[in-house]
Chains A and B, each alone.
Chain A
């Protein structure tokens, strides 16, 4: 239980015990409360006053399955709000095993300097000059760092986009195959890392200093029950291992909620060619992989390795949100092109979702035609070259809309929506509009309520309450370090009970479900408090006008949640 605090201005490193007010917190909860307490809300996100945090979840480093997420947070240059974005891979588990509660990056190095942070097996942290890695793309960087420091490490790093401080830059995280293909993609946190002069963090992944568990026996039993619940769940145990998140392409199109051609249609004509089922078939033929492991401690195996027609590695892991943003949005129905775009974004260190949506906005503005895959690849390559268009695209869809003077830009608080159109899923309209993070696919996705028939996606009734429930739940899930795909078992009694028992055994407490709800509310309140101080009001909790005015085929509906109802979302 310790903070590793790095001042990039002076290169001073301090290791401190966790202050009492942050004990029992992890991941998003810790980050959001810390930022609200310590970051000046009106500061320049790319200036020395912003603080960048890396925090494993509360159960990171324990044996509980699917709890190896690493949460990253700061004030976002993309949204201007508080921001937490989390990634899979091996870093969260490595941090937990080293007994790290958070790595806190303050200040800013001289702009001609680049550094990397190395934490060894004993937990000793040191800054190393990294000028030789300047400008390097993430795959080459990861390879060089594993060569220098050994394969028993976990890495988070930025690519050229982060170094250029582009507002949609990601922080890439290495997976179990040592590829930097997992991303804390949202909110431009890569730009914050770049502004600090920090190119990479390298953690030894073999630590044995996980924070003590109060009741190890009870924890072990709860962990076994939770793992069983994850494996027995039809979504996490059946659909995800075979098709990964790409398994969502078919149902979301069938529901008419797959924003396509820059969110002008709800069904993409070529969706069967980019579906998870088609990808699995293609990979079986070509010798690629589905159902592979990307993250430490994973009981689901949702990852894939996409190979080309010659069997050569292209990217990992091709996920639903990227297939949507690089497929449906720019009208590209070719998985090979989408896979190339995914790799390119990971390699440059930029968010696939913001970038794909930016390309779609440019196409909608007439810059290129929808469906032109080569044009999309060329546009993303501009980011690497640092050209004018590359910088515009790298700053996210809102910047692209302004550049081309095009009004149809599907963002909230500057961040693009995800692959669920708010006009076809009214509850996701509420989440996009009101989330303190800007539009976000993991902030409180209501889709499960529709699929299970609990809620009609096209009616207004019940949507605000559903969004509220899911936003509270996700604040908790992101604080524990739990993967969103495993979190769906929390809707079952056995999954929920095992999860609460694991937390209680870890902390030596006797919390009820309501205590977790209270934690979620506390986190959301802190995030909203920060945003208020940064100048955000309820008028910012709105979608762009076109979502209220342009009906989306095939249902031909618009967002119907009133402003008054949107404002009730956080009436806790």
Chain B
């Protein structure tokens, strides 16, 4: 996609998502996706990850539905080395890593 067009598209996509959140106070978080979860964000850039603007007080669950990642994928969210629960509140400016579950191998 052409640079300017991509930029416009990203803005449009985010604006759409913000409207769907429907809250006035927003916070920006940085998200990195792993394994097949990358397929949920079109043109996902593994180096940069993706940013999302969430309503203040958004939970892990809210963030996952914002990204369109279904719970059937059993996503695991890690922030600062700690695994978050679905009901945990996300802090502003967090960097979140999202995986599918893993076990030893």
Contacts and interface: CB of A to CB of B under 8 A. Distances in A.
B76 A448 contact: no
B22 interface: no
Nearest to B35: A239
The CB with the most chain A CB atoms within 10 A, among B36, B46, B102, is that of B102
B3 interface: no
Given A272-B46, A453-B85, A238 B35 contact: yes
Interface in B34-86: 34-36, 38, 46-47, 73-74, 76, 78, 80-81, 83, 85
A441 B74 contact: no
Given A234-B73, A250-B97, A251-B34, A488 B103 contact: yes
B104 A555 contact: no
Interface in A249-292: 250-251, 254-256, 266-267, 272, 275-278, 281
A53 B97 CA distance: 44
A243 interface: yes
Dominant secondary structure of chain A at its interface with chain B = helix
A240 B73 contact: no
A255 B46 contact: no
Contacts of B78: 251, 254-255
A239 B42 CA distance: 19
Contact of B97 (A247, A254, A420, A488): A254
A451 B102 contact: yes
B94 interface: no
A13 interface: no
Contacts of A266: 81
A266 B102 CA distance: 18
Dominant secondary structure of chain B at its interface with chain A = loop
Contacts, number: 93
B100 A239 contact: yes
Nearest to B34: A250
Contact of A248 (B46, B47, B105): B105
Contacts of B105: 240, 245, 248, 302, 319-320, 484-485
B88 to A, nearest CB: 10
Interface in A13-49: none
> 6 closest A-B pairs (Cβ-Cβ)?
A445-B104, A256-B81, A448-B103, A245-B105, A254-B97, A254-B78
A242 interface: yes
A453 B83 CA distance: 7
Given A272-B47, A319-B105, A452-B101, 18 more contacts: A234-B74, A234-B100, A234-B101, A235-B101, A239-B35, A239-B36, A247-B35, A251-B99, A251-B102, A254-B97, A255-B78, A445-B103, A447-B104, A448-B104, A451-B101, A554-B80, A554-B81, A555-B81
11 contacts: A239-B100, A247-B35, A247-B102, A248-B102, A250-B97, A254-B81, A266-B81, A272-B46, A447-B102, A450-B83, A485-B103
B44 to A, nearest CB: 10
Nearest to B81: A256
Contacts of B102: 235, 239, 247-248, 251, 447-448, 451
B73 to A, nearest CB: 7
Interface of B: 34-36, 38, 46-47, 73-74, 76, 78, 80-81, 83, 85, 97, 99-105
A331 B9 CA distance: 40
A524 to B, nearest CB: 18
Contacts of B38: 277
Interface of A: 234-235, 238-240, 242-243, 245, 247-248, 250-251, 254-256, 266-267, 272, 275-278, 281, 302, 319-320, 420, 424, 441-442, 445, 447-448, 450-453, 484-485, 488, 554-555
Given A255-B81, A453-B85, A281 B100 contact: no
Nearest to A446: B104
A247 B85 CA distance: 21
Contact of B101 (A441, A445, A448): A448
A255 B73 contact: no
B46 A277 contact: yes
A255 B83 contact: yes
A277 B35 contact: yes
A255 B100 CA distance: 14
B99 A420 contact: no
A422 to B, nearest CB: 14
Contacts of B83: 255, 450-451, 453
A282 to B, nearest CB: 12
B99 A250 contact: yes
Nearest to A321: B105
Contact of B46 (A245, A254, A281, A555): A281
B43 to A, nearest CB: 14
